[in-house]
Amino acid sequence: MAEPLPTGSADLTRRGFLNVAAIAAAGAASTAGGFMLRGVRGGATEATAEAPSSQSLHGAKLGIQRVVWSVETDEPLVALTFDDGPDPDLTPQILDILDRYDLQATFFVMGFNAERHRDLVTAAHSRGHEIGNHTWMHDDLTAQETDEAHESIALGDDAVLSAIGARPRYFRPPQGKVSNAALRYAGEHHNDVVLWSLSRGVRDVGRPQEVADHVLGKIGPGEILLLHDGVGREDLRGRSAEPGPRRARRDVEVRALPAIIERTLDRGLRPVRLSELLAAERQTR
């Protein structure tokens, strides 16, 4: 079993994210992969590990890429992202909602779903939404050997390429679990690794108002919001007669989405694609 990245005393996992301070302290685990690692905006700990413009790792040249939770920006922007799709029930609803408000988002698709529902990937892309990679089958990369992890990410890349004619620029590891193997692959393929700074928050199925209230209680410029248009591994072998609890959670998120969008806009914030938020990053160096 592959070793996950080390953890340390400055634990950011309470927000569901990678412990960037521990990675920076690990040295080789971070800089050997050619990554610029950034802390959570407003978090208790922030650390940076930066490599030269390229490094040699077992003969491979790796460019500097980023692991991003949120963005320091002076612009009133938040990134709207969706994981685990596409799904024939959830994704069309979300696309219609986004059309209603003339908004574009970033969809991190599972390769298995993207292959089964290629028309939904192409539909999202044709409407101006970004498509990112979420592995082939929502795999726990920290539980895989290096070759297995690389294959999982590569198959996800291939599924996106097949659907839209281009490889994804962004990669999001399922459950935010990142291994050294995943970082190495991302470095070799010039992918930014994108996590999140805000999610639905409500642990059980909840109600749309609860989810919207949680998001709106925390959202601000530079946040990366994680929502879902799929159910991960819950129904990879086909839709069951009785929807599972995860699907019920996803249905609540979709029902909460209009209120999240409207109240975000009312605050003067605009949900955008990930690339637009990253382009608005405040230059601090």
Active site residues: 83, 228
Collapse the DSSP code of 275 into the 3-class scheme (helix H, G, I; strand E, B; otherwise coil) and give the result.
helix
User: How many whole angstroms separate alpha carbon 280 and alpha carbon 277?
Assistant: 5
Please give the backbone phi and psi of residue 80, each rounded to the nearest 5 degrees, phi first: -105, 120
Collapse the DSSP code of 220 into the 3-class scheme (helix H, G, I; strand E, B; otherwise coil) and give the result.
coil
User: How many whole angstroms separate alpha carbon 245 and alpha carbon 263?
Assistant: 27
State how beta strands 60-63 and 54-57 pair: antiparallel
Terminal CA-CA length for the chain: 39
Residue labelled with tokens 């412990």? 19
Contact 187, 65 (CB under 8 A): yes
Task: Tell me, letter by letter, the H, E, C secondary structure of 154-200.
Answer: HHHHHHHHHHHCCCCCEECCHHHCCEHHHHHHHHHCCCEEECCCECC
Tell me: cis bond preceding 86? Omega within 30 of 0 counts.
yes
Question: Is residue 63 exposed (0-12), middle (13-18) or buried (19+ Cβ within 10 Å)?
Answer: middle
